[in-house]
Amino acid sequence: MGQSNQPVFVLVRPQLGENIGKAARAMLNFGLTEMRIVAPRDGWPNPDAGPSAAGADIVLERARVYETTAEAVADCAHVYATTVRKRGVTKPVVGPDEAGSAIHAEIGKSAILFGPERSGLETEDVALARTILTVPINPEFGSLNLAQAVILCAYEWSKQADLVQPTAEDEALPPAPQEELDGLIAHLERMLEPKGYFLPEARAEATRRTLRTVLTKPGWDYLQVRTLRGVLSSLDRGDRK
pLDDT digit string (tens) for 20-73? 999 999 999 999 999 999 999 999 999 999 999 999 999 999 999 999 999 999
pLDDT value, residue 87: 52
d(CA 161, CA 157): 7
Per-position b or e across 44-67, b if 16+ CB within 10 A of its CB: eebeebbebbeebeebbeebebbe
**Is 79 domain-assigned?**
yes
Instruction: Find the helix or strand (DSSP H, E) in which 26 lies.
Output: helix 17-29
**Cis peptide bond N-terminal to 7, omega within 30:** no
Report CA-CA distances (Å) from 167 to 106, 171, 172.
10, 8, 10
Predicted local distance difference test score (pLDDT) of residue 172: 65
Residue type, 194: P
Range of the domain at 197: 173-237
- Short-list 32, 76, 79, 28, CA closest to 52: 28
> Where among 169, 185, 218 does a domain terminate?
169
Cβ neighbour number for residue 23 with a 10 Å cutoff: 31
Domain boundary at 169, 184, 206, which?
Answer: 169
End residue of a domain, out of 120, 149, 169 = 169
Q: Does residue 177 share a domain with residue 105?
A: no
Q: What is the model's pLDDT at position 206? A: 87
The residues of the chain scoring below 70 in pLDDT are 1-4, 85-89, 142, 162-172, 238-241
Of 240, 128, 233, 131, give the one whose Cα is nearest residue 190: 233
- pLDDT, residue 2, reads 42
Residue 183 in domain: yes
- The Cβ-side half-sphere exposure at 29, using a 13 Å CA radius, reads 20
* Pairing state between β 78-82 and 131-133: parallel
Count of beta carbons in the 10 Å neighbourhood of residue 70 = 16
Residues 157 and 181 in one domain: no
- Answer yes or no: are the C-beta atoms of 209 and 215 closer than 8 Å: no
| Amino acid 27: pLDDT | 95
> Based on the domain organization, do 83 and 61 belong to the same domain?
yes
Does pTM surpass 0.75? no
Look at residues 156, 207, 162, 215 and name the one whose alpha carbon lies nearest to residue 185: 215
